[in-house]
């Protein structure tokens, strides 16, 4: 596929594509760990959600975002989305246990 885009734009897009791939792989690794947490919680009779832990994680991520120059509101929205999906997985694991 040829493009009339300037080389610098193509280089930047390639970098973005590589970062996107890394993000997907990191999310997959994170969900592998959270699946194991879900199994452990189910076998121990623990609730799928841990609001205190979630709040600590949100604050931690907001601080990391500020340090990295990323909008902390965006970082919080992203983590809330991930947490909601993890809790959903944990609920399904508990139901199947």
Q: For residue range 40-55, what is the model confidence (pLDDT) as tens digits? A: 999 999 999 999 999 9
Tokens found for residue 63: 């601080």
pLDDT number for residue 2: 59
Average pLDDT over residues 71-78: 97
Tokens found for residue 88: 């959903």
Q: State pTM to two decimals.
A: 0.84
- Count of other CB atoms within 10 angstroms of residue 40: 12
pLDDT at 97 over 60: yes
Tell me if 71 sits within 8 A of 17, measured CB to CB: no
């Amino acid at each position: 596929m040829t493009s009339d885009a300037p080389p610098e734009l193509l280089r930047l897009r390639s970098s973005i594509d590589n970062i996107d791939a890394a993000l997907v792989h990191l999310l997959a690794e994170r969900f592998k760990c959270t699946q194991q947490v879900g199994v452990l919680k189910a076998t121990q009779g623990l609730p799928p959600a841990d609001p205190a832990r979630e709040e600590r994680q949100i604050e931690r991520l907001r601080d990391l975002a500020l340090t990295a120059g990323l909008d902390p509101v965006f970082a919080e929205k992203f983590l809330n989305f991930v947490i909601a999906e993890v809790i959903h997985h944990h609920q399904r694991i508990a139901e199947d246990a």
